[in-house]
């Protein structure tokens, strides 16, 4: 949520942010509702002051044994007027807050302006793509041939965009999760295990609601939603709290399953593990002071990159443009891993600085020199597990159909060095 002071005093900045993000929102309506709010509040305050004065007069009249009937009628009429205006105020505030929650974060001044991913800027490339003496296969062909992935049975029991990991495929998935968690824990992150179902207030705090209501799985009979990312739960763990400045920054890491409806994405990457309704992810999250959040973003990206470096996977880091920026983010780097079977880079991590946007929605502050301030929040994938597994299958495949296991993962897999197609 934006600071109301920014909305009122720096309206042109907000208007430009909406334009740069290609967001179609009637800002004038928001500002008009804000003015109506203030007018109604002032009217109520004046009427209450008048009512208090008459109430004092009634007390004097009683002591002097004077007739108070007219005064009581006047108080009753004021109460009715106040009630009517207050009812109007509630309607105005409801509409105002609904629109306010739809305004995205203001992009950082260094963010390139653009409409979509074609306007993102490549920051760096790391490593080199593998060379093959044969045409590399896609991860879904490899997985199905080896018998470690099954999409057909997943469709039968669920629907499209689900998958089954089998045998050593399931072992590899578990190995990746443990490897990622252990790496981040060694780097100072505290592991957190949290619920997969959260209430609407938690979804609103993180910025999922009301903007992305169509993307979320909701339990019909309860105020509960399946999380699209552990970012939601890690943020709301401290909702409505005041954190100690001396304990900032807080670094958290959490493994979770993630659930997304992927509404509107039909026809996009329907095969394989890239775009699923249910997938696993290791999430990194930080609570920081305002002055340190941008440097913490850079270190967050490096934490995610470390996983890819240890796996010896070729990747690139890109800075997202305004049109590709997430709703709550002021600045985002995407990390994209090279997929030789697909012959393209694919996002495997997204690292964002949300400034105080989420903490305002979730009411998370810290105290400095006796004054309360909103913390800054950052989040990033460290990494998406299914996409990492897909990248390993495509980058570590060999001509005879086997897939080598990255050396760093072998201790997590009982010393297994390769997945052999003859042993499926």
> What residues act catalytically?
260, 275, 347, 350, 387
Query: Which runs of consecutive H residues, i.e. helices, occur in 64-135?
Result: 69-100
Beta strands in 115-241 (DSSP E): 121-126, 149-150, 164-165, 190-191, 197-198, 225-226
- Let me know how long the chain is: 424
Greatest Cα pair distance, the chain, in angstroms, is 107
Query: Is the distance from CB of 377 to CB of 366 less than 8 angstroms?
Result: no
How many angstroms separate the CA atoms of 27 and 8, rounded? 11
How many angstroms separate the CA atoms of 203 and 220, rounded? 16
Record the tokens describing residue 35, joined without a space. 């003015």
How far is the first Cα of the chain from the last one, in angstroms, to the nearest whole number? 51
Record the tokens describing residue 126, joined without a space. 């790391």
Contacts by 182-189, CB closer than 8 A, 24 or more apart: 183/306, 183/307, 183/310, 184/253, 184/282, 184/284, 184/303, 184/382, 185/253, 187/303, 187/306, 188/251, 189/251, 189/252, 189/253, 189/284, 189/303
């Amino acid at each position: 949520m934006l600071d109301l002071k920014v909305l009122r005093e720096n309206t042109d900045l907000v208007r430009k942010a909406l334009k740069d993000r290609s967001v179609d929102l009637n800002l004038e309506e928001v500002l008009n509702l804000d003015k109506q709010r203030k007018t109604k509040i002032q009217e109520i305050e004046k009427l209450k002051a008048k009512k208090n004065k008459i109430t004092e007069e009634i007390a004097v009249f009683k002591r002097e044994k004077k007739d108070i009937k007219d005064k009581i009628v006047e108080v009753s009429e004021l109460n009715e007027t106040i009630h009517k205006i207050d009812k109007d105020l509630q309607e105005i505030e409801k509409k105002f807050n609904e629109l306010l929650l739809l305004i995205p974060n203001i992009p950082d001044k260094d963010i390139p302006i653009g409409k979509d991913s074609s306007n993102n800027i490549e920051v760096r490339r790391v490593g080199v793509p593998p060379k093959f003496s044969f045409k590399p296969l896609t991860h879904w062909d490899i997985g199905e041939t080896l018998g470690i992935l099954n999409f057909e049975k997943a469709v039968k029991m669920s629907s499209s965009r689900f998958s089954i990991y089998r045998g050593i495929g399931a072992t590899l998935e578990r190995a990746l999760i443990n490897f990622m968690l252990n790496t981040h824990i060694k780097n100072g992150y505290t592991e957190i295990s949290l619920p997969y179902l959260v209430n609407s207030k938690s979804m609103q705090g993180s910025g999922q609601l009301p903007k992305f209501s169509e993307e979320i799985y909701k339990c019909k009979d309860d105020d509960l939603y399946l999380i699209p990312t552990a970012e939601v739960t890690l943020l709301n763990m401290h909702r409505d709290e005041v954190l100690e400045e001396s304990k900032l920054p807080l670094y958290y890491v959490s493994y979770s399953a993630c659930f997304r409806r992927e509404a509107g994405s039909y026809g996009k990457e329907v095969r394989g593990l890239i775009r699923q309704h249910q997938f696993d992810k290791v999430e990194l999250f930080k609570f920081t002071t305002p002055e340190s959040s941008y440097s913490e973003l850079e270190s967050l990206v490096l934490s995610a990159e470390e996983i890819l470096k240890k796996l010896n996977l070729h990747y690139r880091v890109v800075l997202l443009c305004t049109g590709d920026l997430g709703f709550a983010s002021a600045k985002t780097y995407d990390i994209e891993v090279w997929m030789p079977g697909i012959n393209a880079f694919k996002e495997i991590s997204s690292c964002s600085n949300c400034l105080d946007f989420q903490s305002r929605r979730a009411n998370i502050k810290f105290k400095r020199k006796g004054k309360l301030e909103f913390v800054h929040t950052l989040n990033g994938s460290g990494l998406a597990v299914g996409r990492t597994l897909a990248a390993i299958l495509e980058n570590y495949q060999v001509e005879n159909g086997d897939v080598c296991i990255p050396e760093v993962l072998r201790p997590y897999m009982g010393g297994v060095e390769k997945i052999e197609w003859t042993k499926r």
